[in-house]
Amino acid sequence: MSDFDAIVIGAGAAGLFCAGQAGQLGLRVLLVDHSERIAEKIRISGGGRANFTNRDLDVRAPQRHFIGDNPNFCRSALSRYTPAQFIALVERHGIAYHEKHKGQLFCDGPSQQIIDMLLAECAAGSVTHWQPCRVDAISRTADSTFHVDTSRGTARAPRVVIATGGLSIPQIGASDFGYRVAAQFGLRVVAPRPALVPLTFGGDAWAPYAGLAGLALPVRIQTGEKKTRMAFLEDLLFTHRGLSGPAVLQISSYWRAGAPITIDFAPDTEIHDALVSAKQRSRKLTANELATLVPSRLADAWVGQLPSLQRPINEAPDRALAELAERVARWQITPSGSEGYKKAEVTAGGVDTRDLSSQTLESTQRGLYFIGEVVDVTGWLGGYNFQWAWASAHACAQAMAAGHTPAL
């Protein structure tokens, strides 16, 4: 049997960072992961360039970029380990990066650089790494010591950190392990669901748009009732099965099954005023005039649904133009579902924050911690979820070190 001060289960972003930080603070750390390859989610993120944080995160009110049953839960960790601190670490390791859009930071080179950096941090903390290594069982003895039975033998420690992520992208090894551990130790779990995920559509309402796959344009998208309404101004992409792109990924985290979404396809234009003006000065087809405001394929799809507009715009009925403007500026449609975990970038829901300390990420079971995506904290698209991984891992490592009594 091997003895450690802490056992971290899950060698993704949060687990790697926590293990490295705890090791450098003087703890004997074991890092365990069941996968053949390490940190696959980092590797594939950001198109292989790792959108590793977002410098626009407001550390005074970070919760506005996150959802969960208690969005305020993430404030403590995120305010104590900021994007600037992780950027400084990236710079110390000589990793070149750039800002792409709205504070999103990406590596200039491959995402492997971030993985190598985290491994180097683990090496600096003398972290013991078992991978691939299956965890078969976790138990706790009367003296509050955890026994972790693995395919490489049993490890023993007073602290266990669960950093196993959620259910998104099962093809790279995602599992419900963290939720099962939470349930085993009597902790509550908020029902998981796919987030930052493309939405799917079907039926007669979608038929006119089924041929628009590949079309992309900036939109304003929103969902929810007045008190809970959320909106984003981002790019949208039509796919063979529905809608994707940053706009849809963002709104998907707020969308609930059965609810509609509303899209403005020309957010910087008063469509009705523009069409009325065109009627007064133009003899072009209505679809051609609309195509000066939105992509022509989209204009054809809209106008094709209104027989009274199959004519020059100067002959178009005012009522039909008003209906067209309403559709373009306030198109409301209800998704049939989403692409599910296989295409979801993250998992919403997770270990209930009511059973965790926002300061330390320790659960109501002393010595048992949960960090990263396995927790009911989900960030916006654009590096926010990685920043939660770094911040929650840092808070956990600091707390474990503060409560650690070095061996004599």
Residue-number span of the structural domain to which 134 is assigned: 2-194+345-402
Q: Is residue 407 part of a domain?
A: no
Please report whether residue 164 resides in a domain.
yes
Looking at the structure, tell me whether residues 57 and 17 fall in a common domain: yes
Q: How many C-beta atoms surround the C-beta of residue 158 within 10 A?
A: 20
Triad 41, 45, 48: Cα angle to 5°: 115
Q: Count Cβ atoms within 10 A of the Cβ of residue 249 and give its class: 0-12 exposed, 13-18 middle, 19 or more buried.
A: buried
Helix (H) or strand (E) holding 296: helix 296-303
Query: If you average pLDDT over every residue of the chain, what do you get?
Result: 95
Percent of the chain with pLDDT over 90: 92
Which sign, positive or negative, has the C-alpha torsion 18, 21, 23, 25? negative
pLDDT tens digit sequence for 39-84: 999 999 999 999 999 999 998 898 899 999 999 999 999 999 999 9
Does residue 167 have a pLDDT over 70?
A: yes
Averaged pLDDT for residues 168-181: 95
Q: What per-residue confidence (pLDDT) applies to 59? A: 85
In the predicted model, is pLDDT for residue 127 greater than 90? yes
Average pLDDT of the segment spanning 178-186: 98
Average pLDDT over residues 118-132: 98
Q: Considering its fold, how many domains does the chain have in total?
A: 3
Residue 232 lies in a domain: yes
Q: Which strand (E) or helix (H) includes residue 30?
A: strand 29-32
Same domain, 174 and 125: yes
Q: Of all helices (H) and strands (E), which one includes residue 336?
A: none
Give the pLDDT confidence score for residue 404 in this predicted structure: 58
- What is the rounded average pLDDT of the residues 272-281? 95
Residue 229 has pLDDT above 80, yes or no: yes
Is the domain of 18 the same as that of 110?
yes
pLDDT digits (tens, 9 = 90+) for 301-343: 999 999 999 999 999 999 999 999 999 999 999 999 999 999 9
**Any idea what the Cα angle at residue 80 is, between residues 76 and 84, rounded to 5°?**
135
pLDDT at residue 227, as a whole number: 79
Give the pLDDT confidence score for residue 62 in this predicted structure: 87
The model's pTM is 0.95
- Write the DSSP string, 196-242: S--EE--STTTGGGGGGTT-EEEEEEEES-TTT-EEEEEEEEE-SSE
**CB of 157 within 8 A of CB of 4?**
yes
Closest residue by Cα to residue 396 from 133, 27, 100: 27
The answer to whether residue 262 scores a pLDDT higher than 90 is yes
363 has pLDDT over 70 = yes
Q: Residues 44, 116: one domain?
A: yes
Please report which helix (H) or strand (E) contains residue 262, including its range. strand 261-264
Asked if residue 359 belongs to a domain, the reply is yes
- Domain with residue 300: its CATH number is 1.10.8
Residue 408 has pLDDT above 60, yes or no: no
pLDDT in tens, 87-110: 999 999 999 999 998 999 999 999
Q: Residues 143, 46: one domain?
A: yes
Residue 327 lies in a domain: no
Q: In this structure, which amino acid lies at residue 376?
A: D
- Return d(Cα 348, Cα 330) in angstroms, integer: 28
> Does 405 score more than 60 pLDDT?
no
pLDDT score at 403: 79
H helices of 142-200, where? Answer: 177-184
